[in-house]
Amino acid sequence: MILSVSRRNDIPNYYSEWFLNRIKEGYLCVRNPMNARQVSKILITPDLVDCIVFWTKNPRPMFSRLEELEPYPYYFQFTLTGYAQDIERNIPHKKNCMIPVFRELSRKIGKERVIWRYDPILFTAKYTPEYHLQAFRQIAGSLQGYTVKCVISFLDMYDKIQKNMESLNVRSVTEDELAAFGKQLASIAGSCGMQIASCAETLDLAACGIAHNCCIDKELIEQITGYRIHADKDKNQRKECGCVESVEVGTYNTCRNGCLYCYANYSREKTLRNSRLYDVNSPILCGRITEEDRVTERKVKSLRELQENFFT
């Protein structure tokens, strides 16, 4: 089993104590977002978890307790963009705070296990292609030697973020403009020793030097674990997404980053209300199990193929 921690919220930033407590307990619970009374109990012991994939904009709160993850293979997807607090409301200053945090994480766990995400890319009168290229160049230069891979994506206009994007006057660009833009990104990344790839894009940017990416990456997980895994494509993701199957542990409308483009945290009021329910000792994130809930243990298993280590 691969744990996604989490596409829905920034657990390393806001709820790392909860997650590490669940590691100690060996299980956690996840509420079905389509059926609020249906709850899955998921065992997360080291013999069942092949890898943990963390998604974050600020992993600093986890630094003092990273040793508790030693029984588990893991890596981080670290989003670091050029947006200011008009779009990413609660993210600390990128140059002064977040680039040093990225470097520190890389030093702690290794540059191969920290993936830099510059996404989603959206264009406005302020955040022009030229602005993004300048920001990307500055960040890439600052991260040179601290990561080997950068992942990009372009904004998907979900219904739930439509109002936010209209307030920013987000503008569209042509495929030719995107291709020219992508080619320059690839050149910058390459000059800084990074592979660049795209996330769930319908547009083929291979000619620009940008490959399709898998964020829940079978190949990377096999490199980290040292063994082959048998994992199918994640059927719960868009067809353009190349990720393999994983178990999502997050909860919608609980992330306090306040990013205007986020489809998973589209209501500020719900997010504030849900985050007040946070209990580090609860088996479920930002809530509690009640008598009305129907709790079912989810059947999970290791994805490890039964053969000898293929790196030895």
Q: What is the pLDDT of residues 55-75, one digit of tens each?
A: 999 999 999 999 999 999 999
Instruction: Name the β-bridge partners of 211.
Output: 197
Residue 312 reports pLDDT greater than 60: no
**pLDDT of 125-157, one tens digit each?**
999 999 999 999 999 999 999 999 999 999 887
pLDDT of residue 275: 95
Contact 42, 28 (CB under 8 A): yes
pLDDT of residue 307: 63
Residue 99 reports pLDDT greater than 70: yes
pLDDT of residue 68: 97
Sketch the domain layout of the chain as residue ranges: 2-297
Contact 255, 264 (CB under 8 A): yes
Which range among 3-7, 95-99, 266-270 shows the weakest confidence by mean pLDDT? 266-270
Residue 199, both tokens: 């996330």
Residue 308 reports pLDDT greater than 80: no
pLDDT of residue 257: 97
pLDDT of residue 309: 54
3-state secondary structure of 236: coil
Share of the chain above pLDDT 70, in %: 97
pLDDT of residue 123: 96
pLDDT of residue 272: 95
Residue 259 reports pLDDT greater than 80: yes
User: Which amino acid, residue 113?
Assistant: R
**pLDDT of 208-244, one tens digit each?**
889 888 889 999 999 999 999 999 888 877 777 778 9
What does the pLDDT average to over 174-199?
94
- CA 166, 170, 171, 174: dihedral to nearest 10 degrees? -120
3-state secondary structure of 116: strand
This prediction's pTM: 0.94
pLDDT of residue 233: 87
Residue 76, both tokens: 């981080």
Buried-state track 268-307, b at ≥16 Cβ within 10 A, e below 16: eeebeebbeebeeebbbbbbeeeeebeeeeeebebbeeee
